[in-house]
Amino acid sequence: MIFGKDIDPKDISTSLVERQNLTLRQDNNRISRKTIGFSKKISELDKQMTLYFAHFNFCRGHLSLISLDCLGRKRKNSPAKTCGLTDHDWSLRELLTYPYHRISTS
């Protein structure tokens, strides 16, 4: 991340953000361009996006996050595991049955 007044424009790159946006659009029919799978209600889109990001960060193994298991085999890791938020990649069942509590943000 780059902050401040005296920043050389050559140091700024948006390629990582654009790659993330492309992955999001390709995986998610509700926000793809020119599709009939769009969300009619913002609340439904919000719920679907919450599920997508939870799956993306807790369940899905990423090629850029590879480690070796105890047998020396390459294993893709989720961002949550890599950051130390969990000790394993979650299954979809584990994600959908995890007890959570809504909190007010206001």
Neighbours of 57 (CB within 10 A): 19
pLDDT digits (tens, 9 = 90+) for 51-101: 999 999 999 988 888 888 788 888 889 999 999 999 999 999 999 998 877
Distance of CA 61 to the CA centre of its chain: 11
pLDDT in tens, 4-45: 777 777 777 788 788 888 888 888 878 776 677 777 788 888
Instruction: Select from 55, 56, 57, 25 the least CA-distant residue to 38.
Output: 25
Single pTM value for the model: 0.71
pLDDT for the residue 33 = 65
Q: How confident is the model at residue 3 (pLDDT cuts 50, 70, 90)?
A: low
Report which residue type is found at 57: N
Distance of alpha carbon 81 from alpha carbon 56, whole angstroms: 12
| Closest C-alpha to 25, from 60, 66, 56, 47 | 56
Q: Which residues have a Cβ under 8 Å from the Cβ of 76 and sit 6 or more positions away?
A: 61, 62, 63, 65, 66
